[in-house]
Amino acid sequence: MMCGILILFIVVTILLKIAELYLRTLRLRNILQKHVLITGCDSGFGNSLAKYLDGIGVPVFAACLTESGQKNLKARCSSRLMTLKLDVTDEKSIGEAVQFVQSKLEKGQELWGLVNNAGLQVISAPLELHSKSAIEKTLQVNLLGAMYVTKAFLPLLRQSKGRIVSVSSDAALIAWPCRVAYNISKCGVESMSSCLRKEMYHVGVSAHCVEPGAFKTNIVYPDEMATQLQQAYNASDKEIRTFYGPNWLEKWKETYKNILPIQNPDLSPVTDAIEHALFAKFPKARYRCGRDCQYEFWPMSLLPDWFSDWYYAMPAPDGAKDIKPDKSK
């Protein structure tokens, strides 16, 4: 009896998975009429996505922080792509972006998709070495900026019953040491998307997250990261410098050198995932991009916390050896 139930369960599970895989292949029609706004198009995922969508005929609003970013994109894309300057942390800039998009949408046209891609990592260091400005800048751009932009464009997206796609990170799966502000910002983006799916459930607007693993973008430069760490270390209090110490400092700098070899220069797994979230009939709530994210970070996130705490632990500060264990625990 139990054996029969088990076999039935396995068969049903397989059939459901096959059905899911088939449904994921179904695409929306008339994507060439569906306008998409992408933030953070100066470089990285946003830049690649803007060029990719433009290449397949999708009308794109490419939002850049700099005028040089706009100029470079215009030189590499068709006349169909429209660029605009946008600072996701500035209310006036966001308002002007809404007006720009509205002015370019002709009668009968709608904004179908918003891609929250703008993001940065200010520093990779323990929380004690994070300055107030570093914490605030990270949260302002990565989390609050995405919230501000989404809120501003929701009226247009409600009209089209469109899609909101936010670029998260593997940091939403694993709380990486020395990236506390960045980790929080990406977990916040995930929570925003989950909340919006519920708020917009009866409206027709859907929200999705893309979780890239290690890809080669402008967020990670080992030499620059080492310089930023050294500056933060030098600016910290004497007690903090003594606790972490020069040996720890050099050990953590060395870990930066391991980043480049594992970064994937091919950004297409991420741009393909965003495109699917925008134009599939049955998009996923979350997309894990990269083998590391799919086969290491996600499974590790399911294991007990003590294991990932041990496996991904930061090298011991120099002062840790002076801390005597509490035998009462």
Q: Please check whether residue 257 is in contact with residue 130, taking contact to mean a CB–CB distance below 8 angstroms.
A: no
For residue 253, what are the contacts with CB-CB under 8 A and spacing of at least 6? 226, 229, 230
The C-alpha atoms of residue 271 and residue 147 are separated, in whole angstroms, by 21
Sheet holding 286-289, edge to edge: 82-85, 60-64, 35-38, 111-116, 163-167, 206-212, 286-289
Which 3 state secondary structure label does DSSP give 257?
Answer: coil
The C-alpha atoms of residue 329 and residue 321 are separated, in whole angstroms, by 18
Q: How many C-beta atoms lie closer than 10 Å to residue 235's C-beta? A: 11
For residue 171, what are the contacts with CB-CB under 8 A and spacing of at least 6? 179, 182, 183, 186, 187
How would DSSP label each residue in 85-101? Answer: E--TT-HHHHHHHHHHH
Active site residue 182: yes
> Which is the catalytic residue, given 182, 233, 244, 287?
182
- The full length of the chain comes to 329
Q: State the residue for tokens 């179904």.
A: 26
The C-alpha atoms of residue 92 and residue 86 are separated, in whole angstroms, by 9
Q: Identify residue 327 by its one-letter amino acid code.
A: K
The C-alpha atoms of residue 115 and residue 149 are separated, in whole angstroms, by 10
DSSP state for residue 285 in the 8-state scheme? S
Q: Please check whether residue 164 is in contact with residue 205, taking contact to mean a CB–CB distance below 8 angstroms.
A: yes
Which 3 state secondary structure label does DSSP give 215?
Answer: strand
Catalytically annotated residues: 182
